[in-house]
Amino acid sequence: MGEYIKVEVASYVKQGIENGTMIPRQAEKISRIIARQGRVGETVVSWSVDSKGNEIQEKVAQVQVDKQTNQPGWIATKVDERGNIIIDNNNHPNQWIIDDTIFKEKYEVDPENPSLCRPKGGTQIFVQIPDNIILNQWGSDMQIAAGGYINITKTNDMYGISQRDFEDTYKFTDNLEKSGPKL
């Protein structure tokens, strides 16, 4: 397992696009989730795997009050097409915390299965990372193994996702110009 380097996401992505090691691509979120509003202070550990399949503790986060809505964040759990919770090879559910504002912006109740939430919105822009990195994401550090992705759709809100989670969650829709969005 290679070393992880701490990066400042905007400059890391900008340099990668400029030197050609990161090529922006469009993808659309396709996966469904189960979600519930968390209790303030409730802790969620997000797990992933490194490039060799070894488990890594990706992130530890606590539910906070969303400053915009004054409501607690949501705990999201990825599910398969039948609504069953996805458990990884190391027996961890795929869970994470989403601020209330972001949850309401990105998800809605699935009319075909009201116990699930489906993504809303259009395509997003991603770059695949060539390094094992640590980035500060929403107030806490997150480890992402080489091969993972950074969502660069909103340059003021870029965030990372492991390769495994990306492949379970998104499908590519198009290539973008090599220069990508202006960072």
Q: How confident is residue 121, by pLDDT bands cut at 50, 70 and 90?
A: confident
**Structural domain spans, the chain:** 5-175
pLDDT beyond 90 at 180: no
Q: What is the mean pLDDT of the chain?
A: 88
Q: What is the pLDDT of residue 56?
A: 83
Share of the chain above pLDDT 90, in %: 57
Residue range 142-155: mean pLDDT, rounded: 93
What is the DSSP annotation of the chain?
-PPPEE--HHHHHHHHHHHTS---EEEEE---EEEEE--TT-EEEEEEE-TTS-EEEEEEEE--B-TTT--B-EEEEEB-TTSPBPB-TTS-B-EEEE-HHHHHHHEEEETTEEEEEEE-S--EEEEE-SS-EEEEETTEEEEE-TT-EEE-SSTTS-EEE-HHHHHHHEEEEEEPPTT-S--
Full-prediction pTM beyond 0.75? Answer: no
pLDDT in tens, 22-75: 999 999 988 899 999 999 999 999 888 776 778 888 889 999 999 999 999 999
pLDDT at 1 exceeding the cut of 90: no
88-107: per-residue pLDDT in tens?
Answer: 878 999 899 999 998 998 89
